[in-house]
Structure 1
Amino acid sequence: MDYVTLGRSGLKVSRMCLGALNFGTGWGLGVEEPEARRLIDTFLDSGHNVIDTASNYNSGQSEEIVGRALHGRRDSVVLATKGAMPSGPGPNDRGLSRVHLTRSLEASLRRLGTDYVDLYQCHFPDSVTPMEETMATLDGFVRSGKVRYIGCSNFTASQIVEAQWAADRVGGTPFVSLQPEYSLLRRDIEAEILPVSARHGFGVLVCGPLGGGILAGRYQRGGEPDPATRMGRLLASDQPGARAWAQSNLTDRNLAIAEAVADVAGKLDATPAAVALAWVRSRPGITSVIIGPRTMSQYVENLAGFTLELPEESRALLDGVSEPPVLTAARS
């Protein structure tokens, strides 16, 4: 098994991370517990060791399922969760304040059935709470033993720098990791976020490497998504935000990139998902890649992306077709 350290920490993590976003049925479209348990057991039995969840995934069911699945093997797992998302209707039921983070961590520990988490991450930035308050609170979690390491998710480059400076000002524990979205469809983090993360010694655990299934070849230009697919379900949703999100992803540009991935896959006798994952895994500065399979067949398909080595011409082709305007402008 290929283990690497998480940034400048001493924590060893596998290059593949199991994302638990889909575990549970609280949002109506998730994975039932028996299948989720089977995925977790298969993942851990293969030697991988990082599982990532969050306080709000499937209304808390994700953490509960993960906690039950880890009974008897907790100490061999790097367990990561996240706080900040709303937990209720009150004004203090969200964000990175001391009151909400403390409540969120305690609730996560109860759902996970553990007295500590290995990596506690700020799910989203908070423009209202002073960063010094957030970093001092997180440092208290580390000193109490309830958290081993801290990280952030969805932070901009300037927010990363602000957080590290704030930790220094309060004499607290700095972040050691970042969890951003990254794929052939979304490469904007290469412009500023990845360089800043490298300068601060972050481990980078990327989510969304298949672009919501687009890079796995599930959607084609000119065709309607299968109602059984994620995008198909979202387009049929009665939630305007869900429909808008799906439409914003099913663009001509994204589908053209997916076609290029499929062409490369055909030449390499591989699946599009394996090619997309292999590309992300091989990028500079990437520590671990989070996968989010719903079924065992999807999990098996994802595995190939962690052994496939892309030829230089294939990487160059994918780099070119997927380069976003922000990177093109930076090079001009």
Structure 2
Amino acid sequence: MQRITLAPGYEISRVIRGGWQLAGGHGAVDPAVAVDDMVAFADAGITTFDCADIYTGVEELIGKFRLAYRDLRGEEALRRIRVHTKFVPDLTVLPTISKAYVEGVIDTSLKRLNLERLDLVQFHWWAYDIDGWLETAGWLKELQQAGKIDKVSGTNFDSDHIEALIAAGIPLASLQLQYSLLDRRPEKRMVSLAAQYDFALFCYGTVAGGFLSDKWLGIAEPAHPLENRSLTKYKLIIDDIGGWDLFQALLGTLRRIADRHQTDIATIASAAMLRRPGVAAVIVGARNRDHLAENLAISDITLSDKDLSDIEAVMAEAKELEGDVYTLERDRNGRHGSIMKYNLNKGE
């Protein structure tokens, strides 16, 4: 597993294990089995885990895993484990948010994860038209200075707001954002901002909720309603960039590339994103270790110039998505946080 250094003394695996699938929405979760699966991921080299305060029960599971991993592998092995959580204040809290509220949520995450200092906290704000997001980021910085947070980061902020955060002196280590072969909105401005201000990009959605996989190759266009919100969300993106025929052309190209590397479409789709400028890591959703081998292969594959040019030849026919990072999602979901939560950072 490739590793990358984000800052002196702070190293992560370039494939991050997503945690949303353990929040209960994909079926019952056996805590003991979940912890064993995390041990398998860590032993294999995927030592960075993504979660959030709003992913029900996931911080607690990772906290149990950390204790188990210390007992099984020792303190030195535990030091390689990084946990990236999110601070996501509820939409109803935003108008009256206070530093006490922020610190209380951070303290809860510390307790759940069995950490004395949170490795990396990714800040999200549901509605830009509600004031307080910049002040709240400042409180996170104060908690960082107090030793409760190591790295302050963001998730799903657009370019204008990232520039405002940086101008306000918020030291962003990274930004988690939707970025895939289908969704290239980050290339409008965010990739250059990441280079200019030296923050890393963590990509979710690299397999588009499962659409970028062998399962959909040669399949007729599905009708609504789709199976879940994730598929609905990414089907809208497929529609916006040019439709089902273009999407099938991309899958066919990815399948031919996968044949050259003896792997599958999803692995190629994620591996391609690790080649993008500014991308430090991709987040893979995993309920268990069933696809661990494929997850490991993401960073092992070296795509050739022909592989990459074949992908670009197909995507040259795609239409540009409107807006900046997460703009479409905010517009389509309005300010109904209950919907947006299901679409936030699933790491699929």
Code of the residue aligned with 2:281 in structure 1: it is S
Q: Name stretches of at least 5 consecutive residues in structure 2 with no aligned partner.
A: 322-348
Q: Name stretches of at least 5 consecutive residues in structure 1 with no aligned partner.
A: 168-172, 226-230, 328-332
**Is 2:57 aligned against 1:61?**
yes
Tell me how far apart the structure 2 counterparts of residues 174 and 82 of structure 1 sit (CA, whole Å): 16
Change (3 A) 1:30 1:162: farther
Change (3 A) 1:178 1:317: same
1:20 corresponds to which residue? 19
8 Å Cα contact 1:176-1:202 kept in structure 2: yes
Once the 2 structures are TM-superposed, how far is the Cα of residue 97 of structure 1 from its aligned partner?
5.3
2:330 corresponds to which residue? none
**Is 2:154 aligned against 1:155?**
no
8 Å Cα contact 1:235-1:243 kept in structure 2: yes
1:105 corresponds to which residue? 106
Code of the residue aligned with 1:197 in structure 2: it is A
Tell me how far apart the structure 2 counterparts of residues 111 and 158 of structure 1 sit (CA, whole Å): 33
Greater mean alpha carbon deviation, residues 151-160 or residues 134-143: 134-143
Tell me how far apart the structure 2 counterparts of residues 235 and 296 of structure 1 sit (CA, whole Å): 26
1:283 corresponds to which residue? 276
8 Å Cα contact 2:123-2:137 kept in structure 1: no
Code of the residue aligned with 1:67 in structure 2: it is G
8 Å Cα contact 2:119-2:150 kept in structure 1: yes
Code of the residue aligned with 1:245 in structure 2: it is K
**Is 2:7 aligned against 1:3?**
no
Find 2:39's aligned residue among 38, 41, 49: 41
**CA RMSD between the two structures:** 2.9
Code of the residue aligned with 2:41 in structure 1: it is F
Tell me how far apart the structure 2 counterparts of residues 263 and 20 of structure 1 sit (CA, whole Å): 31
8 Å Cα contact 1:24-1:33 kept in structure 2: no
**Is 2:256 aligned against 1:266?**
no
Change (3 A) 1:193 1:9: farther
Any idea what the Cα deviations from partners look like across 1:129-150, whole Å, max 9, x if unmatched? 3344123201121122111010
Code of the residue aligned with 1:179 in structure 2: it is Q
Tell me how far apart the structure 1 counterparts of residues 300 and 95 of structure 2 sit (CA, whole Å): 40
2:215 corresponds to which residue? 218
* Matched residues, number: 307
2:115 corresponds to which residue? 114
Any idea what the Cα deviations from partners look like across 1:203-252, whole Å, max 9, x if unmatched? 11111211111112222454377xxxxx99x8246xxx667436425641
Greater mean alpha carbon deviation, residues 289-298 or residues 151-160: 289-298
1:137 corresponds to which residue? 139
Once the 2 structures are TM-superposed, how far is the Cα of residue 276 of structure 1 from its aligned partner?
1.1
State the identity as a percent: 25
**Is 2:205 aligned against 1:208?**
yes
1:330 corresponds to which residue? none
Change (3 A) 1:250 1:35: farther
Once the 2 structures are TM-superposed, how far is the Cα of residue 10 of structure 1 from its aligned partner?
4.5
**Is 2:148 aligned against 1:146?**
yes
Normalised by the size of structure 2, how large is the TM-score?
0.78
Find 1:174's aligned residue among 171, 174, 179: 171
Tell me how far apart the structure 2 counterparts of residues 22 and 124 of structure 1 sit (CA, whole Å): 22
8 Å Cα contact 2:2-2:300 kept in structure 1: no
Code of the residue aligned with 2:305 in structure 1: it is E
Code of the residue aligned with 1:166 in structure 2: it is A
8 Å Cα contact 1:235-1:246 kept in structure 2: no
Change (3 A) 1:301 1:145: same
Partner SS, residue 301 of structure 2? coil
Tell me how far apart the structure 2 counterparts of residues 45 and 95 of structure 1 sit (CA, whole Å): 44
Tell me how far apart the structure 1 counterparts of residues 93 and 292 of structure 2 sit (CA, whole Å): 38
Tell me how far apart the structure 1 counterparts of residues 276 and 28 of structure 2 sit (CA, whole Å): 30
Code of the residue aligned with 2:165 in structure 1: it is A
Any idea what the Cα deviations from partners look like across 1:81-105, whole Å, max 9, x if unmatched? 001242xxx8327897535432322
Partner SS, residue 151 of structure 1? strand
Normalised by the size of structure 1, how large is the TM-score?
0.82
Code of the residue aligned with 1:164 in structure 2: it is I
1:325 corresponds to which residue? 319
Tell me how far apart the structure 1 counterparts of residues 182 and 311 of structure 2 sit (CA, whole Å): 10
